[in-house]
Amino acid sequence: MAPRISLLAAPAPAPAHTGGLLALLPGTAGLLTVAALGIALLLILIIKVRLQPFVALLGVSLAVGLAAGLSVTELFGTVQKSDAVSVIETGMGGILGHVAIIIGLGTMLGAILEVSGGAEVLSGRLLRLFGERRAPLAMGMTGLIFGIPVFFDVGIFVLAPIVHAAAKRSGRSVLLFCMPLLAGLSMTHAFLPPHPGPVAAAGLFQVGLGWVVLMGLVCGIPAVLAAWGYAAWIGKRIFVPVPQDVLEAAEEARRAVRTAEKPVSLATVLAIIGTPLLLILLATFSSIALPASPARSAIEFLGHPFVALTAALLMASYLLGIRRGWSRASLEAVATASLRPVGNILLVVGAGGVFGAVLKGSGVATALSDTFHDVGLPVIVLAYLLALVLRVAQGSATVAIVTTAGIVLPLVAGQGLSQAALALIIMAISAGSIFASHVNDGGFWMVAKYFGIPERDTLKSWTVLESVLSVTGFAVALLVSSVVQGR
């Protein structure tokens, strides 16, 4: 068995690479210059030029590859040898082969849960269970549970009317109800599959999703509890009234789409959300606890993310759709419509894979490894700080995750790290990717406008809330890594 390497130790040194447009700067110095200029160019293109992140990532990947010495043939392959795989094809195909199916299945599952009214049933039951005094906690639990299969922005759209209604009924600040909800949605979006960031990082690091789910819960639950504490504190100090126009428009829209369908049961919603997570976790631990056998093979088959999510999607299609009177055409329309925004996500994730492949193939990543080994900066700390800087600079959590993963991946290659250790590095990256959401983040404006929060108060509430989630999640990952390395 390969020895376990400490996550808190610097990466082992690797040989440097020279050549390319910066040959005047020998060895590691030239490659580090390429890396620094490439990342700076990426940030300028996304932040200042407002270039679409997919185009920016792809263009910078080509520039970095050429500057670091990769030939056109290495980047693109050759026309004569159609079977020759280029760096770009390797990076794009390697990550999308793993990610595309999971994101597609998860998106369709979330859409059926949304349109069927599953979120309303879940939040309504939690409100009755916790009572009016603990309604903010009920909102937090709703965001946490419903955020697993549903993207962040979809969760806001679906659950905001419930927040508005609770705030109006109680006469208290909207912040007291929306901030716990947003904490749950943000945590699941950053730390748990099937959301694009953690799935993409798992694909790049070749980590089983069961380990990502497990470490996501270990790091994410304390983070969201800390965020709920801050939400309760800030919600009592800043009063934001209910935006009446938003509330009235939402109620009108909900009345317009309401049909005579059978009501959704809470048990059905929980079963659909919990089934894929349970199957994936069972498969992960069966490979550890059970000897090789037909039973273990069956569990691992059912727990493969592709199979588990397909099973959950079929359950949702029947239990929330067909059995409640949906036509097959309606079910197909809901699923198809949900996939329209996925193209942009997949392209950005794929371009992040290309960027990582170029860094590895050109030798830039080796130069970075040499440098961080000499500095002595721990890998898990480096992962967090890189993701944090990229997040604050350009706003997108997904871009921050896939870019950081591409940079960090070669630093841990060949280190003999366990799946648990690699999953913790992914958690550090995920934690850094949600730090300090501000005006360059679309989520900031979505929160501010949809809940009627002034920009100054959004900075005091939402921006700080995201920072609490980030710092706490990373602190737990760092703590758990010290246990993992000691085993």
Residue-level pLDDT, tens digit, the chain, 487 residues: 333 334 444 444 433 444 444 444 556 778 878 878 887 888 788 778 888 888 988 998 899 888 888 888 888 876 555 455 688 888 888 778 767 888 788 878 878 887 887 767 877 787 788 877 888 998 999 889 888 877 787 778 667 767 877 787 788 999 999 999 999 999 999 999 888 899 999 988 999 989 999 999 999 999 999 999 999 999 999 999 987 665 555 454 444 344 445 678 888 988 988 888 888 888 877 876 788 889 899 998 998 888 888 998 999 999 988 888 888 888 888 888 888 777 877 888 788 778 878 877 877 766 766 666 666 678 899 999 989 988 887 778 888 898 889 888 888 877 888 999 999 999 999 999 999 988 768 788 888 877 888 888 999 999 999 999 999 999 999 999 988 865 5
How far apart CA 24 and CA 43 sit, in angstroms, is 25
Q: Give me the pLDDT at residue 94, please.
A: 75
Task: Give Cα 54 distance to the centre of its chain.
Answer: 17
Q: How many CB atoms lie within 10 A of CB 50?
A: 8
For residues 97 and 295, give the distance between their C-alpha atoms in angstroms, rounded to a whole number: 27
CB 405 within 8 A of CB 94: no
Measuring CA to CA, which residue among 283, 324, 320 is closest to residue 303?
283
| Bond from prior residue into 378 cis (ω within 30 degrees of 0) | no
CA dihedral 186, 151, 479, 463 (to 10 degrees): -20
Helix H segments across 303-458?
Answer: 305-316, 328-338, 342-362, 364-375, 379-394, 397-412, 419-432, 442-450, 455-458
Q: State the Cα–Cα distance between residues 189 and 183, nearest whole angstrom.
A: 10
What is the C-alpha separation between 121 and 116, in angstroms, rounded?
A: 10
What single-letter amino acid sits at 281? L
Q: Omega of the bond prior to 410 within 30 degrees of 0, cis?
A: no
Which are the contacts of 218, defined by CB distance < 8 A and separation ≥ 6?
A: 476, 480
Give Cβ neighbours of residue 85 (< 8 Å, ≥ 6 apart): 77
Q: How far apart are CA 109 and CA 273, in angstroms?
A: 9
Cα 158 from Cα 253, distance rounded (Å): 11
Report the pLDDT value the prediction gives residue 427, as an integer from 0 to 100.
97
Cα atoms in the 13 Å half-sphere on the side-chain side of 413: 17
Q: Determine the longest span between alpha carbons in the chain, in angstroms.
A: 73
pLDDT on residue 375: 67
- Cα→Cα distances 200→285, 398, 413, 487, Å: 22, 9, 17, 28
Token pair of 276, please?
Answer: 């894929």
Amino acid at 36: A
Tell me how far apart the alpha carbons of residues 352 and 209 are, in angstroms, rounded to a whole number.
19
Measured over the CA atoms of residue 43, residue 45, residue 49 and residue 50, the dihedral's sign is negative
pLDDT of residue 384: 95
Tens digits of residue pLDDT in 389-436: 888 877 788 888 988 898 888 888 778 889 999 999 999 999 999 999
390 neighbors 431 (Cβ within 8 angstroms): no
The one-letter amino acid at 159: L
Q: Which amino acid is at 53?
A: P
**Quick one: how many helices (H) and strands (E) in the chain?**
23, 0
Task: Name the residue with tokens 């979330």.
Answer: 110
Task: Kindly state the tokens that stand for 238.
Answer: 């800043």
Inter-residue contact 447 to 422 (CB < 8 Å): no
Q: How many CB atoms lie within 10 A of CB 344?
A: 13
SS3 of 454-472: CHHHHHHHHHHHHHHHHHH
pTM of structure:
0.73
Calpha distance 246→157 (Å, rounded): 11
